[in-house]
Amino acid sequence: MHTSFCGGQHLKEGETVSAELVADSQNPGKWAAHNVKLGPLGEDGVVTEWREDGGYGFMAIDDGRRAYIHRSAIGGSGSLVVGMRLRVDLKPDPRNPGKWCVAQVRSQLTNEPSESELTELSQERLLQQQQQQQQQQLDQLQQQLHEQQHQPAVLQDTEDGANGTVTEWHDDSGYGFLTLDDGRRAYVHRSVFGGTGTLPLGMRLHVIVRADTRNPGKLCIGEIKHELPVVETSPTISTSTVTVQDAPTSDMQTGVVSEWREEGGFGFMTMEDGRRAYIHRSVLGGSVSLVVGQVLQVSMRPDPRNPGKWSVGEVLSDTGLQPAALEIMQPVTEPSAEDGVVSEWREEGGYGFIMVEDGRRAYIHRSALPATHQSLIVGQSLRAVLKPDLRNPGKWCVGEAVVGTDAILGTPETEPSLKRQRVA
């Protein structure tokens, strides 16, 4: 040990010191004392806080640092008392970078704090209590605000029923949603109307609304009373009733109907600028149908349910043009049937997949099959019309299995390969 390692202090033989031992570079195999401090090893401090239920607290070290202390530092059992002085070993707190914690309690110095320590402790305790009270008040205010914002919808006269429109329906899972006339949205399941059947989009219903027990603060349909007639709230498509000048030119687009689903009352249009837009029967008055290839002038708007996509907000007029009259639009042709093989079929769900001759894989549902063939077998050949799968962009589904001489052909004698051909 050298004087330079103890801050220049002059030590006497027999004095107690604490030091860090390192290998002596000048004497291999021996040790040297660095960071020598007069006095026993450890840091002295006073317990300023102790939580018996959690078994932890905090200490104020004599050099001004604040250190976390856990019951495990005193052997895993026992308790500490506020004001108790301890000699401890400190280490950086691994859970709170930049802070300290007690690694080990070496000894208890005294149980009785000094008068100055008592004054400091009482002031610190008072400050802590004030901070805790303020935090509790803040937490209560935040909880009240949260409860107000998420207060469950209050149903008034639910037994008298409410009117609404089917705005979403998933036939494969048997559930959907209604938008009520007062703007609320309610979940509906197939079980409330017998367990079978479907609800077409745009259908008007008189229903009993309940609080959804599975989703607090939301609504569900408890009972469907009866169907309501669809009231036309806007005129049918006619150039005599709506003119192009009636709408803002900035929103007006000309497009062709590229897809229409009569059972759901919705479809899609391809605009002259290349955009694709969703269109629902409700913008046609609620009862009008469209035909693939029909050209319309419409008002566009962002689709509120699909950010980044478009929907038709209003039909301005039927132009009477054919698709070929639009320079950038291709005429819509009837889709052709393609031969394929059933690669997977789930009878309980009524759906599966087929592999077409060109290597594509297409989803098929029982609803696309003719009434005389409501089930398929793996390996069975069929001819079907494919269309883009709207629920899975970039994939395909079967729109219709062709009946008659081009209907389901049966199981081939040799099962074709269901794998795609690798393209060189």
pLDDT tens-digit series, residues 54-98: 899 999 998 889 999 999 998 888 889 898 899 898 999 999 999
HEC readout, 36-70 = EEECCCCEEEEEEEEECCCCEEEEEECCCCEEEEE
In this structure, of 14-18, 228-232, 388-392, the range with the lowest mean pLDDT score is 228-232
Q: How far is CA 4 from CA 17, 19, 27, 221, in A?
A: 15, 13, 17, 84
> Residue 37 and residue 15: Cα distance in Å, rounded?
11
**Residue keyed to tokens 């305790």:** 125
Stretch 155-164: mean pLDDT: 65
> Residue 340 and residue 290: Cα distance in Å, rounded?
30
> Residue 394 and residue 60: Cα distance in Å, rounded?
65
pLDDT of residue 68: 95
> Residue 70 and residue 49: Cα distance in Å, rounded?
11
- Note the pLDDT tens digit of each residue in 5-17: 666 677 777 777 7
**What are the phi and psi torsion angles at 392 (to 5°)?**
-135, 85
Q: Name the pTM for this structure.
A: 0.25
pLDDT of residue 177: 93
Mean per-residue pLDDT over the chain, rounded:
77
Q: Which residues have a Cβ under 8 Å from the Cβ of 21 and sit 6 or more positions away? A: 31, 32, 33, 34
pLDDT of residue 70: 94
- Note the pLDDT tens digit of each residue in 300-355: 888 877 778 888 888 887 655 444 333 334 444 456 778 889 999 999 888 899 99
Confidence of residue 247 (pLDDT cuts 50, 70, 90): very low
pLDDT of residue 366: 86
**Contact, 67 vs 59, CB < 8 A?**
yes
Q: How far is CA 137 from CA 130, 141, 142, in A?
A: 11, 6, 9
